[in-house]
Amino acid sequence: QVRLIMKAYSFIRENAPRVLSSVKDKSGTVHIPRISQYLYFLFAPTLIYRDNYPRNPTIRWGYVATKFAQVLGSLFYAYYIFVRLCIPQFRNSSQETFNLRGLVLCIFNSILPGVLILFLAFFAFLHCWLNAFAEMLRFADRMFYK
């Protein structure tokens, strides 16, 4: 929802001055973006609206398949981390009576797996998922991290 709000704000911020200046000048011609431009912007991995973006001439489907395979690999690895490192910690603590020492030990033993899962989520979404969609949309500006 935050991403969609940010995209809507960018769309309004880029197009409102055009509309307001044409109303003020009473020129009668208002350049309103087409629906296809707005839909492309919604799926493109950018938060800044432009009427046209640099485009690649072709789609590299092998690259797209590789990125989606990396997303699936990240999901399976996160599942493995949960099953092997997180769930046993809390399963053992649920069989004992509650004490603060046990809770603190469970939390500290889950910090490293949690950080690994956080890195996997960032890699899967920000690198693999966005690059796959950028390639399918032929989006040429790949400066996600700048």
Q: Where exactly are the structural domains of the chain?
A: 1-53, 55-145
> What share of the chain has pLDDT > 90, as a percent?
42
CB-hemisphere CA count at 13 Å for 94? Answer: 6
- Give dist(CA 44, CA 23) in Å, integer: 30
- Give dist(CA 65, CA 131) in Å, integer: 11
Spell out, as residue ranges, where the chain has pLDDT lower than 70.
Answer: 27-28, 92-94, 143-146
pLDDT (tens digit per residue) in 47-78: 889 888 888 899 999 999 999 999 999 999 99
